[in-house]
């Protein structure tokens, strides 16, 4: 089984790689997972990425970057809200993408940046959190989980990863919210927003945020902030997925289409 | 732009750093601490590229602490500064150089206070006063004009958005809420 494979001691070094392929080995902060990505002979990941991101290059790859995600702490825990549009350049892949990964019943991770990178690395983080719980018989703290992710990403500095993630949870120290990105930035705070629409969300969220919000007020604020970001940012849209992290775990509050929210807020104005 | 300043007095070093963690136009945190405590009497102030600062500073911090665990006594500020510079230099021509600008401030029980200026090209200079960031363009001339090594001069930055700390023979002290520009001669 997958977990058994990871935990078993492995003698990978004894295996010869086919065709003399080079192994790019990068440690990710734990000796458990085998993090060696095979790369064809003579290829350096950073240079490889550069050829695809040159501005006037013929081969410009368009990564899925558009998003708005936000999270804030208040007296009753942490609210997490994200949009669900996935774009590749000017093409919309899907309007219903899940940008929140449920790491465990107490931890959530949001995704912005490159969809593939986020989905993969947050799943690796979820693996580590599970192994931590098995080894130590207690839930991993939000601080430790975010540090694990941050250190994993720091190993791939300069190789073109694009991840802007918020790790949200409730542990023995109370509600926790950390922002982690591909540069290796890791910040603890009360309020963050990421993605192409983050500035629009900050505008609404900052203006309406107070620590002593009631739960319905907090839900409304989070939903409005994402809605306003989707209204102005072309790369955000679809639906607003909202979660609430409480002491006994997270709950999924709602999933509402932004078109319907538009009609709802329009009526309120009149 | 991030700002650091350090001033050495006759028996202390005064250091201050701004507390903003920004990402292009957005201030992500306004209470961010840029000082890393290497030991009881050494502080490392670190600014620069986003993840590099924390990764590099924590690496130095843990290694200095490891030295103490292994050998039973702490690295002196001079040794810590040279160790830091060597690491910066080693990474400079690697695939992943660390783009960080540093100030290392410490108090050695034998040699007294010391302030070291380091930049991302791994230059190292022991200086009576030093600053990093755009603010340095303004403050260095002020310090050139008014600094005197023997005077117990305390230049204080009153802006609420600064973390100010003092290192002397007693250790590291937080000096956050201080009144404006008082100068006293010893």
At A213-231, the pLDDT tens digits run 999 999 999 999 999 999 9
- Report the Cα–Cα distance between both ends of chain A, in Å, rounded: 58
- For chain A, the residue count is 270
Mean pLDDT of A34-44: 58
Instruction: Give the model's confidence band at B77: pLDDT under 50 very low, under 70 low, under 90 confident, else very high.
Output: very high
Interatomic CA distance for residues A55 and A229, integer angstroms: 27
Say whether A67 is catalytic. Answer: yes
pLDDT at B174: 87
> Which residues in chain B have Cβ-Cβ distances shorter than 8 Å to A184?
50-52, 54-55
Contact A187 B28 (CB under 8 A): yes
Secondary structure element (H or E) that encloses residue B26, with its range? strand B26-29
Q: Tell me the whole-structure pTM to 2 decimals.
A: 0.82
Secondary structure element (H or E) that encloses residue B8, with its range? strand B4-8
Instruction: Give the model's confidence band at A39: pLDDT under 50 very low, under 70 low, under 90 confident, else very high.
Output: low
Contact B51 A181 (CB under 8 A): yes
Name which of A185, A189, A199 is nearest B25 (Cβ-Cβ).
A199
* Tens of pLDDT, residues A57-69: 566 666 556 899 9
- For chain B, the average pLDDT equals 87
Does the beta carbon of A27 lie under 8 angstroms from any beta carbon of chain B?
Answer: no
Interatomic CA distance for residues A217 and A205, integer angstroms: 12
The interface pTM score, or ipTM, of the predicted complex is 0.81
> Which residues in chain A have Cβ-Cβ distances shorter than 8 Å to B52?
157, 183-184
Which two structure tokens, joined as six digits, stand for B4?
């650091």
Interatomic CA distance for residues A98 and A46, integer angstroms: 29
% pLDDT > 90, chain A: 65
Contact A184 B96 (CB under 8 A): no
Judged by DSSP in three states, A55 sits in coil
> Which residues in chain A have Cβ-Cβ distances shorter than 8 Å to B95?
44, 46, 158
Does the beta carbon of A184 lie under 8 angstroms from any beta carbon of chain B?
Answer: yes
DSSP A113: B
Which two structure tokens, joined as six digits, stand for A254?
């709602």
Residue B115 pLDDT > 90: yes
A1–chain B nearest CA distance, Å: 35
Instruction: Give the model's confidence band at A167: pLDDT under 50 very low, under 70 low, under 90 confident, else very high.
Output: very high
Does the beta carbon of A215 lie under 8 angstroms from any beta carbon of chain B?
Answer: no
> Which residues in chain A have Cβ-Cβ distances shorter than 8 Å to B25?
199
Does the beta carbon of A156 lie under 8 angstroms from any beta carbon of chain B?
Answer: no
% pLDDT > 90, chain B: 66
pLDDT at B163: 84
Judged by DSSP in three states, A6 sits in helix
Q: For B30, which residue in chain A has the nearest alpha carbon?
A: A189
The string of DSSP codes covering A203-258 is HHHHHH--TT--HHHHHHHHHHHHHHHHHH-TT--SEEEEEEEETTEEEEEEEEEH
> Which residues in chain B have Cβ-Cβ distances shorter than 8 Å to A158?
95-96
**How many helices (H) and strands (E) would you count in chain B?**
3, 12
Q: Are A256 and A223 in contact (CB under 8 A)?
A: yes
DSSP A151: H
* Tens of pLDDT, residues A72-94: 999 999 999 999 999 888 888 89
Contact B55 A154 (CB under 8 A): yes
B54–chain A nearest CA distance, Å: 8
Instruction: Give the model's confidence band at B146: pLDDT under 50 very low, under 70 low, under 90 confident, else very high.
Output: confident
* Mutation target among B22, B27, B55, B99 for the A interface, most CBs of A within 10 A: B55
Instruction: Give the model's confidence band at A155: pLDDT under 50 very low, under 70 low, under 90 confident, else very high.
Output: confident
pLDDT at A4: 53
For residues B112-144, b (16+ Cβ closer than 10 Å) or e, as one string? bbbbbbbbbebebeeebbbbbbebbeebeeebe
Contact A187 B21 (CB under 8 A): yes
Q: Are A246 and A76 in contact (CB under 8 A)?
A: yes
Residue A29 pLDDT > 50: no
- For chain B, the residue count is 186
* Tens of pLDDT, residues A2-21: 555 555 555 555 455 555 45
pLDDT at B150: 72
């Amino acid at each position: 089984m997958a977990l058994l494979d990871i935990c078993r001691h492995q003698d990978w070094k004894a295996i010869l790689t086919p065709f003399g392929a080079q192994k790019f080995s990068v440690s990710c902060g734990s000796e458990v997972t085998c993090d060696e990505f095979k790369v064809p002979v003579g290829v350096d990941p950073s240079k490889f990425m550069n050829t695809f991101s040159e501005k006037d290059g013929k081969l410009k790859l368009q990564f899925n970057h558009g998003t708005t995600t936000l999270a804030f702490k208040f007296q009753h825990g942490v609210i997490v809200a994200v949009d669900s549009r996935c774009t590749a350049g000017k093409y919309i892949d899907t309007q219903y993408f899940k940008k929140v990964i449920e790491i465990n019943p107490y931890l959530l991770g949001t995704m912005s940046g490159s969809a593939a990178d986020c989905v993969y690395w947050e799943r690796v983080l979820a693996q580590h959190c599970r192994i931590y719980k098995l080894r130590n018989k207690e839930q991993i703290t939000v601080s430790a989980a975010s540090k694990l992710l941050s250190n994993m990403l720091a190993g791939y500095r300069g190789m073109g990863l694009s991840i802007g993630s918020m790790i949200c949870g409730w542990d023995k120290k109370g509600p926790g919210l950390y922002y982690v990105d591909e540069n290796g930035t890791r910040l603890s705070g009360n309020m963050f927003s990421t993605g192409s629409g983050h500035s629009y969300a900050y505008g609404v969220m900052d203006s309406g945020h107070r620590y002593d919000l009631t739960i319905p007020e907090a839900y409304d604020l989070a939903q409005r902030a994402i809605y306003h970001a989707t209204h102005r940012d072309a790369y955000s849209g679809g639906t607003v997925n909202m979660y609430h992290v409480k002491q006994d775990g997270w709950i999924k509050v709602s999933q509402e289409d932004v078109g319907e929210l538009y009609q709802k807020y329009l009526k309120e104005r009149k | 732009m991030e700002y650091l300043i350090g001033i050495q007095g006759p028996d202390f070093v005064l250091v201050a750093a701004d507390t903003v963690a920004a990402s292009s136009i957005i201030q992500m945190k306004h209470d961010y601490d840029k000082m890393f405590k290497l030991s009881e009497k050494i502080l490392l102030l670190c600014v620069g590229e986003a993840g590099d600062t924390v990764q590099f500073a924590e690496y130095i911090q843990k290694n200095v602490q490891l030295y103490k665990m292994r050998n039973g006594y702490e690295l002196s500020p001079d040794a810590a500064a040279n160790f830091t510079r060597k690491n910066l230099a080693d990474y400079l021509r690697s695939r992943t150089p660390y783009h960080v600008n540093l100030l290392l401030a410490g108090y050695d029980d034998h040699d007294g206070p010391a302030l070291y200026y380091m930049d991302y090209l791994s230059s190292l200079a022991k200086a009576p006063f030093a600053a990093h960031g755009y603010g340095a363009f303004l403050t260095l001339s002020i310090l050139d004009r008014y600094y005197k090594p023997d005077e117990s001069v305390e230049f204080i930055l009153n802006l609420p958005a600064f973390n100010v700390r003092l290192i002397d023979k007693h250790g590291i002290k937080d000096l956050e809420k201080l009144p404006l520009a008082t100068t006293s001669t010893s």
